[in-house]
Amino acid sequence: MKFFVDTAEIDAIAELNELGMVDGVTTNPSLIMKSGRDILEVTKEICDLVSGPVSAEVVATEADAMIAEGRKLAEIAENIAVKVPLTWDGLKACKVLSGEGRMVNVTLCFSANQALLAAKAGASFISPFIGRLDDVNLDGLQLIEDIRSIYDNYGFETEILAASIRTVNHITECAKIGADVITAPPAVIKAMASHPLTDKGLATFMADWAKTGQKIL
């Protein structure tokens, strides 16, 4: 499964990238705002840092304007994936941009029907939002499973990019279901390394080692 990092913070991306934990990056208007950086400048810096897809989101809501913004964003680097919302206009923009050979990430997906439409419009990635569905007492992971079944039934090549990841358990379950990609904040990805029994075991080893009075270096 591919790991995309959901942030526009360069230092956080660089740290994970050094460990080989970054297959791509996703950004959105909220993350750009949080970074305090110019969208074109920070996106270019991210694209220079990682070789995988970097999602940059349009802010227009009408198809022709989305297409124009998407083309502008795609000029930043070859690894840009233009991010469009799952609206009817977004699907129109997806069809045009994907037809031009550009990667398109269709975001804010909350139903299997929406995911089916995005695949037929030529989306490179579909981004179902797990956490936001869980917030309203719906099963976000069930949506991932439903999309996986539909895409496999008909051989769609659109990759399932599980988004709105809130916990490490979300990542585990997405991997079991067969999501192609997860995108998560750096803190959630780093939390995958944590386990209380690991901490307890290490503390025991260190206490016993101290009793030996030995040193390795």
* pLDDT single digits (tens) 15-36: 999 999 999 999 999 999 999 9
Name the β-bridge partners of 161. 181
d(CA 156, CA 153): 8
Domain boundaries, the chain: 2-212
| CA dihedral sign of residues 186, 187, 192, 194 | positive
Q: What string of pLDDT tens digits covers the 217 residues of the chain?
A: 999 999 999 999 999 999 999 999 999 999 999 999 999 999 999 999 999 999 999 999 999 999 999 999 999 999 999 999 999 999 999 999 999 999 999 999 999 999 999 999 999 999 999 999 999 999 999 999 999 999 999 999 999 999 999 999 999 999 999 999 999 999 999 999 999 999 999 999 999 999 999 999 9
Q: What is the per-residue pLDDT for 190? A: 97
User: In terms of C-beta density within 10 A (0-12 exposed, 13-18 middle, 19 or more buried), how is residue 134 classed?
Assistant: middle
Q: What is the per-residue pLDDT for 95? A: 98
What is the homologous superfamily of the domain 2-212 according to CATH? Aldolase class I (3.20.20.70)
Q: What is the per-residue pLDDT for 1? A: 97
d(CA 58, CA 70): 6
Residues in the chain, overall count = 217
Q: What is the per-residue pLDDT for 115? A: 98
Q: What is the per-residue pLDDT for 43? A: 97
pTM of the model: 0.95
- The reply to whether 176 belongs to the active site is no
Q: Active site residue: 83, 95, 176, 200, which one?
A: 83
* pLDDT single digits (tens) 70-82: 999 999 999 999 9
